[in-house]
Amino acid sequence: MVDRLKDKVVVVTGSTLGIGKAVAKLFLAEGAAVVLNSHRDDADAAAVMGELAGERALYLRADISRRDEVEAMVAEILARYGRIDAIVNNAGVNVFTDPLEMTADDWRRCFAVDLEGAWNVIRAALPSMLERGYGNIVNIASVHGHKIIPGCFPYPVAKHALLGLTKSLGIEYASRGIRVNSISPGLIMTESAEAWLASCPDPAAERARQVDLLPVRRIGEPLEVAYTALFLASDEARFINAADILIDGGRSQLYSE
């Protein structure tokens, strides 16, 4: 199937690498005009725009933790396209630390991006969506929003809150044509996952250990998350709202042996 998002205008935050990049590429292939975003103009942003160059791909720099930058980005999108049909809030940051050793800056940084960042984008775009009576929002949450892994504080707190934001807004605006859903990926082989494995004392052994933890016996791919985002952002999912879809190969349902 092609053109599942034909003529839709979609914003994908954190879309120069990993899951966000896979989402942007797939959405473009499915006929959408896609606004890519990052908090910095770097080699990754240049590379992805070189790869996706075309009239339906637009890159806008904005730090989603800064409300003023997000509002300026949304205003530019509305001036250019006249509407925003869908948002994929993918931008995030891993903050893993001991609770009592965590600094105030660590706490603020985690919530400023992983929770408030998504809300900043939604809040800026929501009035125009409500005016049209149409809008699909997909928040990229995490299995950390469902299960707790020791040593990962405060990231799971922010992701639990993001799930709450998703459900609350989905119910709040359901009767006005707005759908808000989320996706909770498990271990996905992004650039950051590759870097983490490479940092382990024995990368091959750690990769094998992670694979053995998964019932499907393999690590997920960014494109697999992107296809779920495509479904939720499309009108195929028009009766799905305030829901979360786990993409973790079944690991979160497996009783620890």
Q: 188 vs 48, 132, 143, 209, 223, CA distance in Å?
A: 19, 35, 11, 14, 10
Task: State pLDDT tens for residues 158-171.
Answer: 999 999 999 999 99
Residue 152 CB burial class (10 angstroms; 0-12, 13-18, ≥19): middle
pLDDT computed for residue 54 by the predictor: 76
Give me the chain's average pLDDT, please: 95
State how far the Cα of 108 lies from the Cα of 196, in Å rounded to an integer: 23
Reference 225, options 170, 187, 198; nearest CA is 187
Residue 219 CB burial class (10 angstroms; 0-12, 13-18, ≥19): middle
What pTM value is reported for the model?
Answer: 0.95
State how far the Cα of 111 lies from the Cα of 77, in Å rounded to an integer: 25
pLDDT computed for residue 153 by the predictor: 97
Task: State pLDDT tens for residues 70-129.
Answer: 999 999 999 999 999 999 999 999 999 999 999 999 999 999 999 999 999 999 999 999
Residue 176 CB burial class (10 angstroms; 0-12, 13-18, ≥19): middle
Question: Is residue 59 annotated as part of the catalytic site, yes or no?
Answer: no
Catalytic residue among 155, 173, 227, 255: 155
Domains of the chain (ranges; CATH) run: 9-188+221-248 (3.40.50.720)
Comparing 46-50, 83-87, 170-174, 202-206, the range with the smallest average pLDDT is: 46-50
State how far the Cα of 203 lies from the Cα of 130, in Å rounded to an integer: 48
- Looking at the predicted structure, is the pLDDT value of residue 1 above 80? no
Task: State pLDDT tens for residues 213-229.
Answer: 999 999 999 999 999 99
pLDDT (mean) for 24-30:
96
Length of the chain: 257
